Structure 1
Amino acid sequence: MFTLSDIPMFFVNFFIILPIVTLLHEAGHVLMARLFGGRIKFCIGTGKTLLHIGPLEIKKKYFMEGWCQYEDLTYNKTWAHVAIYAAGSLFNIIVVFTLNALIYAKVLPVDLFFYQFTYFSIYFIFFSLMPYRNDGGKPSDGMAIYEVIRYGKAEDPID
């Protein structure tokens, strides 16, 4: 049951944990695109730009969504695009397994923060890999993977 004592964790979840999960997801796309020689631009949030740090743009509503664009891949093959689209979810799952290993090894404490981090990461992975298009017509990672394999087309931005 949700009570007043849950409100602080609610704010931590939506204004700290979810943006970190989003940033890690987009970092996976960025890392993989760079491995294939691509030029990258990525963003956390929506709305007015607050801050630019290299290729990263942080928007006013930093706790909502993220995206990554890449172009000019040195290795412009179907499998490279599939790897880039899948890398966000792969990065999320690697971080979840790493956190769980550190908790199991008693390096990190068992804590609600890490539980919620894992929950949001799994949520992110699930919806990223589900093939669909959002209301703006942008594909999920799963849809982009499907289209690259089926039609040989890569579409930007990736979410």
Structure 2
Amino acid sequence: MFNAEDLQTFFWGFFLILPIVSLIHQSGHIAFAALFGGNISLTLGRGSTLFKIGPLEVKKIYFLDSFCNYSNLKVDNRFSHACIYAGGSLFNMLSVLMMNVLIMSDILSPHLFFYQFGYFSFYFAFFSLLPVQYSDKHMSDGKAIYTVLRYGKACDPID
């Protein structure tokens, strides 16, 4: 049952862990776009800009949303786009694997923070890979992978 004692866990989960997981996810897309020679940008949040460092822009409501853009790929084919779309979920799952290895190696001690990190990361990866069309212009990573492999049509931006 949710009570007042759970508010601290709620706040660090939604205002710290979720944005970190989202940043890792978008970094996966960005890493693959950079690997294929693209121009990249990453936005964390919505609203007015808090700060911008290189391709990273952090908005005032940093925990709400995230997305990345890429363009001008040097390697521009179905496979490169599919890798970029899958990169976010891949990075989420690799971060969970790394965290588990660090805990099993006694480098990190088990903590609720890491449990929530693993949960949010798995949640992000799982729902990103479901093939869902959100609107005329926005689709999940899974739907984007399907679309680019089946029809050769790239889908930007990545959410």
TM-score bracket for this pair, using the shorter chain length: over 0.9
**Cross-structure match for 2:80:** 80
Amino acid paired to 1:141: D
Q: CA deviation at 1:137?
A: 3.4
Determine helix, strand or coil for the equivalent of 1:9. Answer: helix
- Identify the range of structure 1 (116-125 vs 131-140) with the bigger mean alpha-carbon deviation: 131-140
Distance 1:139 1:66 in 2: 14
**Cross-structure match for 2:143:** 143
Number of equivalenced pairs: 159
Deviation track 1:29-74 (CA, whole Å, cap 9, x = no partner) reads 1111000000001111112221111111111110011111111101
Structure 2: state its 5+ residue gaps.
none
Q: CA deviation at 1:135?
A: 4.3
Distance 2:133 2:58 in 1: 24
Percent identity, aligned pairs only, is 53
**Cross-structure match for 1:25:** 25
Amino acid paired to 1:53: I
TM-score scaled by length of structure 2: 0.97
Q: CA deviation at 1:75?
A: 0.5
Amino acid paired to 2:92: N
**Cross-structure match for 1:2:** 2
TM-score scaled by length of structure 1: 0.97
Question: What is the CA RMSD across the aligned residues, in angstroms?
Answer: 1.0
Determine helix, strand or coil for the equivalent of 2:50. Answer: strand
